Chain A
Amino acid sequence: AQRVTQPEKLLSVFKGAPVELKCNYSYSGSPELFWYVQYSRQRLQLLLRHISRESIKGFTADLNKGETSFHLKKPFAQEEDSAMYYCGVRGSTLGRLYFGRGTQLTVWP
């Protein structure tokens, strides 16, 4: 069975500080990993995915298959980064995307 663990329910940092949102997964095979974000009063949207190896809004995430982790990082957090972040994993069959419980990030001025 697939499982996604986001150990931090809440995370607070000050503006300009580095931030890391942790995600560990348990999945057989070679899954696809994603980070989705939900800003206040907005719908859930894709932030980034591991296969793209891209940086979005200053965020990056590296897939570590040995540690089965996909932590989201940003070197200098901004107030507008405050949001709920969900890590997601999708296997190869039927396109189902499973999420962790989410981490609420608050960036203080």
Chain B
Amino acid sequence: SAVISQKPSRDICQRGTSLTIQCQVDSQVTMMFWYRQQPGQSLTLIATANQGSEATYESGFVIDKFPISRPNLTFSTLTVSNMSPEDSSIYLCSYLAGETQYFGPGTRLLVL
């Protein structure tokens, strides 16, 4: 499987600001995904990041709040915009290879 990494690994941000999370895969992958992992709650799919087109968002998530870029087949970014404390969570990047989905180490975000 390809190596998948995320930056930053963690951050503390002030409300109203934005944070961009980077996801890098060391080989080309077609499908990449962004998830949010909140303690005691589901591991929730935010969107599917498509190379060369706009991301496909799940119900409850919108592009203005979570803009996503996918400039090539090895890289994606997720921006958490105009943050509030409710955005405090772990954000996971993922890619699909065959039938298996692989996950990054996550970005732990705390919004004050």
Contacts and interface: CB of A to CB of B under 8 A. Distances in A.
A101 B37 CA distance: 9
A32 B33 CA distance: 18
Interface stretch (B18-26, B70-78, B101-109): B101-109
B32 to A, nearest CB: 10
Contacts of A32: 99
A94 B48 contact: yes
Contacts, number: 50
Contact of A43 (B31, B43, B56, B105): B105
Interface residues of A, number: 21
A49 B103 contact: no
Interface residues of B, number: 23
A49 B104 CA distance: 20
A9 B40 contact: yes
Which one of A45, A96, A100 has the highest number of Cβ atoms from chain B below 10 Å of its Cβ? Answer: A96
Interface of A: 4, 9, 32, 34, 43-46, 49, 51, 86, 88, 94-102
